[in-house]
Amino acid sequence: MKNFYSCFSFIITAFFFLIALPAYGALENVEDQANVFQTEQLTQLNQEAEKLEEKIKGGIYIVTTDTNEKQPRTFANEYLRDKVGNNQNGAVFLIDLNQREMYIATSGNMIDYLTDSRREALFDKVSSEMSGGDYYAASKIFLEQMTNYVDEGVPGGHYRIDEKTGKISYYKTITLLEGIIAFALALVGSVAFFIIVKSRYQLKLGTYKYPFRQNTQLELTENENRLINSFVTTRRIPKNNPSSGGGGSSTNSSGGGTFGGGGRGF
């Protein structure tokens, strides 16, 4: 009987251990293939990444590798797509020690938060840490800067540039001041309309009923519009054109999804 209970306890323990493994792996935001982080550093980076994930409602990842043979862009795009899917919110910071390049791939709303100019500013901040081999400090700066960009919001006049076609798509944002002004105008208009109507008809609330059946007339007409020609105007902006930074984000297509981002050697 004692052997039976011992065997039963072992089976139950193993069962819950196996169930817990996938759940733990699903929460990991840092994949240290190159073994450059200490255990405490991995824990800290994971916690910071999870906080940012709550803000963007998506996935934030950091990956190190010393065996990658693909183009860093291809590796990062495929990694992000596998994690969040096509066109879903997310970003990955790739540290490619084999090709000595750092690359950030973005998807969904992170394309708009991380503009080209913001990305280059981030690379400027981490360049010394990357060159010096302090990949933990560089990863912390990545998470801090990305959090700041999300808190600051999408820049005014933001747009996306398709690197292949040159098509520009503008992103319209409403500032706090514009929202307050719009609300105030709507409130004033509503109150004015109510006062004018009430004073004109001298209505008493709850007692007057308009005889709409006797005073209405319905006429239906058929109107058909046909779209004859439509045109889309695009223009190509060179990658190295300084004016393409500003509030713009360059995008590329991969595996049916749209990704932003870029890289820099170290």
Structural domains of the chain in order of their starting residue, each with its CATH number: 28-170+245-265 (3.10.310.50)
Structure tokens at 128: 């010394």
Could you give the CA distance from residue 165 to residue 162 in angstroms, rounded to a whole number? 6
Pseudo-torsion of CA 234, 116, 108, 182, nearest 10°? -80
- Residue 27 sits at φ, ψ, to 5 deg, of -90, -5
Q: Which residue is it, tokens 């052997």?
A: 3
Spell out the per-residue pLDDT of the chain, length 266, in tens. Answer: 555 445 555 555 554 444 443 333 334 899 999 999 999 999 999 999 999 999 999 999 999 999 999 999 999 999 999 999 999 999 999 999 999 999 999 999 999 999 999 999 999 999 999 999 999 999 999 999 999 999 999 988 888 988 888 888 776 555 556 567 777 777 777 777 777 766 666 655 556 677 777 777 777 777 776 666 555 555 444 444 433 335 799 999 988 999 999 999 99
From CA 59, how far away is CA 47, in angstroms rounded? 13
What is the spatial distance between Cα 105 and Cα 116, in angstroms, rounded to a whole number?
12
Q: Spell 163-182 as b/e; 16+ CB within 10 A means b.
A: eeeeebeebeeeeeeeeeee
Question: How far does CA 19 lie from the centroid of its chain?
Answer: 31
| Residue 260 one-letter amino acid | G
Q: Is the pTM of this model over 0.85?
A: no
